[in-house]
Amino acid sequence: MIDKDKFDEWYNEIVELADLCDKRYPIKGMNIWKPYGWKIMQNIDAIIRQEMEKTGHKEVYFPLLIPEGFFKKEEEHIRGFSSEVYWVTHAGKNELEEKLLLRPTSETAMYPIFSLWIRSHADLPLKIFQIVNTFRYETKMTKAFIRVREIHFFEAHTCHTDFEDAEKQIKEDLEIAKRFFRKLCLPFIISKRPEWDKFAGAFYSIGLDVLMPSLKALQVGSIHQYKQNFSKPFEIKYEGIDGKHYYCHQTTYGMSERVLGAIVGIHGDEKGIKLPSSIAPIKVVIIPILFKGWEEKIMDECKKVKEEIEKMGLSCHIDDRDKTPGSKFYDWELKGVPLRIEIGPKDIENNVVSIATRDGIKKRIARNELEKIKDELAEYDERLYRKAEEFLRQHIYIMEKLEKKEGIIEVPWCGKEECGLKMEEELDMKSLGTPLPGKECDKNCPICGGKATTWLRLAKIY
């Protein structure tokens, strides 16, 4: 893992060196996705889509532009977002009659339409999602994938008959998150955000956070219980079995390109990024080790091996560029390809292939046991996960008193906002919230000395 103090500089460089993005676009916080980075993001999206399909969510696409009138229907929501939205005021040479905003998130685009789609209890639950570009005029320092102004965004929106059914959805979302982040080898913690930091308009918010090598927490997902906070202003009602009309209960689940930022940051090392095999555009790269007189034999063998690997369902690339093997190793390590195969005269003579995983395990595999590559990839993924998990665990400090630590701090908390804010101030950290699932506490709040009913997690955050 990259050293804390070097992390920022390393991260800012690696995203371009590994060919993920180009930051030279002249609008701050709006970067160009290069082919390699975009392919990885599409692979991440594909995993989300699988999970959504499995859980009965349907994919939709709502317009980017939202009329000001729609946006202003829910007061908390406007308050939360109004300083961050981009406004379209003109089209061609005309001033628009009604200003339009670029979606920062799509509640206010979708919910007036949900009120048309939902008539009866038979229409519920409604479970939809979309993967789109959203826009937030960030004023803080921007950072590739982590804080950008055009965001590649996933948002699921659901409507339910009652609070309990919405709560069930939130449980399902958490299961989705567990499966999803496991595939990306990213350990994370789940916290119920404090009142003062919940999503604009939510009844409560859950944050999914990872810990970056900078020892700052990064929110990589959020799940919100809206109760009827949006359904009332947007008039999303259904007719119950009893013939009466009720407002829906709603939830959302959001994630973004930050997931890629987390992968880059958490798995990376001095050599470059390390991609989990689930999302690597190239899972196996083959480097021919050419010797005079052997060229043809070796290239033939490389092609045969490639073919066999592709039959196993793994993407594979032969690097036949006119460069030294060493400089090829360098390139593919930089780009995080999970597994490298070297094929030289000795490998052919001994009927083996030489493999090296991106995290440094080197082996020979019998030529007729190429299938073992799958196990090697699975073990590689497991090692990525374990290493990240150990790092996370080592940096969670469960303490009775307030004490500055680098990482995530958990302290007893009485539940009062003023005590929470005081802790934030003393630690120079932000609250992540209370642990989920809930964790009992029989200590005292280090601020007021009163009985602590729960724990508060704090960390420096992105």
Report the distance separating Cα 140 and Cα 135, nearest Å.
14
Q: List the interface residues with its own copies, window 106-125 (CB under 8 A).
A: 109, 112-113, 116-117
* 5 is an interface residue for its own copies by CB under 8 A: no
| Strand-pair partners of 279 | none
Residue type, 187: P
* 56 is an interface residue for its own copies by CB under 8 A: no
Instruction: Rule CB under 8 A: choose which of 4, 62, 391, 397 binds its own copies.
Output: 62
194 close to 456: Cβ distance less than 8 angstroms? yes
Instruction: Rule CB under 8 A: choose which of 22, 68, 269, 359 binds its own copies.
Output: 22
Instruction: Rule CB under 8 A: choose which of 59, 175, 300, 382 binds its own copies.
Output: 59
Instruction: Walk across the sheet containing 316-318 and list its strands.
Output: 316-318, 284-288, 339-343, 352-357, 362-366
* 318 is an interface residue for its own copies by CB under 8 A: no
Report the distance separating Cα 21 and Cα 205, nearest Å.
31
**DSSP codes joined into one string, 298-346:** HHHHHHHHHHHHHHTT--EEE---SS-HHHHHHHHHHTT-SEEEEE-HH
Q: Would you call 293 exposed, middle or buried from its count of C-beta atoms within 10 A (0-12, 13-18, 19+)? A: exposed
281 close to 338: Cβ distance less than 8 angstroms? no
Nearest distance from C-beta of residue 287 to its own copies, angstroms: 21
How many angstroms separate the most distant Cα atoms in the chain?
85
* 33 is an interface residue for its own copies by CB under 8 A: yes
* 361 is an interface residue for its own copies by CB under 8 A: no
Residue 116 or residue 442: which is nearer to its own copies going by CB?
116
* 25 is an interface residue for its own copies by CB under 8 A: yes
Residue 82 or residue 350: which is nearer to its own copies going by CB?
82
Report the distance separating Cα 248 and Cα 128, nearest Å.
15
* 82 is an interface residue for its own copies by CB under 8 A: yes
Angle at 27 (CA atoms; ends 26, 33), nearest 5 degrees: 85
* 67 is an interface residue for its own copies by CB under 8 A: yes
The stretch near its own copies (CB under 8 A) out of 32-40, 298-306, 358-366, 382-390 is 32-40
Instruction: Rule CB under 8 A: choose which of 1, 4, 8, 34 binds its own copies.
Output: 34
From first CA to last CA, the distance across the chain in angstroms is: 18
Nearest distance from C-beta of residue 305 to its own copies, angstroms: 22
* 366 is an interface residue for its own copies by CB under 8 A: no
* 363 is an interface residue for its own copies by CB under 8 A: no
Q: List the interface residues with its own copies, window 384-443 (CB under 8 A).
A: none
The contact pattern for its own copies, residues 125-164, with x = CB under 8 A and - = no contact, is ---x----x-x-x-x----------x-x------------
For 57-88, give one letter per residue: b (16+ CB within 10 A) or e. beeeebebebbeebbebbeebbebbeeebeee
**Which chain residues interact with its own copies by CB under 8 A?**
22, 24-27, 30-35, 38-39, 42, 58-65, 67, 70, 82-93, 100, 102, 109, 112-113, 116-117, 128, 133, 135, 137, 139, 150, 152
